[in-house]
Chain A
Amino acid sequence: MNSSQATLLTLAIALSLAARPASAAARDELLADYAVTAKKNNPAFAGFSAARGGVFHRKSFAGGKPDTPACTSCHADDPRAAGRTPAGKAIDAVAVSVSPTRYVDPAKVEKWFRRNCQDVLGRECSAQEKGDWLSYMLSR
């Protein structure tokens, strides 16, 4: 490769990086953080699974509040559809394809995992559960 080709290649890489939206980078970073914790908690951890996240999204738990046994108690079964809070307010779809501004602020994501996991499971969600669920929403 001559020098002008190298320059072109560098330029192309820089452009493709720049073209990647900051929101995607922020989500990748969040997922990477969850992966570090998941690996720490379980050395056998081998990556997140959107399929597992989908099952988690629809699973009913007994540990939380009786009126919110599942994610789907408020969020729609289909992540691309809008949900509804117990107070009747509409919740934007949780799938990134429909709500592209979601999951870019890690503090906000953590705030809602903290609240909602407590309401649904009666405990914090593990890093693996969060990563799986998030992967599912990013894939939808």
Chain B
Amino acid sequence: MTIPYRPIAFGLFALAFAALLFERAQAGGSHFFPPVSDPVVREECGSCHLAYAPSMLPARSWQRMAGDLKNHFGDDASVDTATTARITDYLVANAADTGGRRHGGKLLRGVPAADAPLRITELPRWVKEHREVPARDWKEARSKANCLACHRGAERGDYDD
């Protein structure tokens, strides 16, 4: 019996291509960052601002941030020890270089391994993606922390628009 190599090879190729497309689609063209699913983290990190997706910063950044919640960008966001531990564990486990690598990996481009940036808006990739946003839009959003002003689907993790 002759083995039909050519059709099999073609089939495998098509399958691999489809898988690649599917993964890209799932990643929302790399503009999908899964929202916070832990209710405690959502509550504690999402009262004053959008609960930023853990895959937007590397684990070392989250560790640094959770280690100094008393001085959180000028605000005292401290919580009790148990809550701090829960928040830290969740963010570290789903960070851009851990569990959330598939979604946030690209955001870490240009970030030196020794750096632990605290502001998502200062990541080189973020700056690049937003360089064409006109000043009047920033004014309307009031703060660069206000993703929702333009990204209407941000709470669902969708940053496509």
**Could you list which residues of chain A lie within 8 angstroms of chain B, going by C-beta atoms?**
65, 85-89, 111, 115, 118-119
In the complex, whether B137 has a CB less than 8 A from a CB of chain A is no
A90 to chain B: closest residue by CB: B148
Which stretch (B8-16, B33-41, B122-130, B138-146) binds chain A? Answer: B138-146
Least CB distance from A59 to B in Å reads 21
Inter-chain contact A115/B76, CB cutoff 8 Å: yes
Inter-chain contact A85/B76, CB cutoff 8 Å: no
| A118 with B148, Cβ < 8 A, contacts A89-B49, A89-B50 known | no
Contact among B48, B50, B76, B141 with A118 in the assembled complex (CB-CB below 8 Å): B76
For B142, what are the chain A residues with a Cβ–Cβ distance below 8 Å? 86, 88
Least CB distance from A93 to B in Å reads 15
Q: A87-B146, A88-B141 are in contact. List 7 more A-B contacts (CB 8 A).
A: A86-B48, A87-B48, A87-B49, A87-B145, A88-B142, A89-B148, A115-B76
For A115, what are the chain B residues with a Cβ–Cβ distance below 8 Å? 75-77
In the complex, A65 Cα to B75 Cα: how many Å?
A: 10
B51 to chain A: closest residue by CB: A89
In the complex, whether B149 has a CB less than 8 A from a CB of chain A is yes
Indicate the member of A86, A111, A115, A118 with the most B CB atoms within 10 Å.
Answer: A86
For A89, what are the chain B residues with a Cβ–Cβ distance below 8 Å? 46-50, 146, 148
| A119 with B75, Cβ < 8 A, contacts A88-B142, A89-B148 known | yes
In the complex, A100 Cα to B55 Cα: how many Å?
A: 34
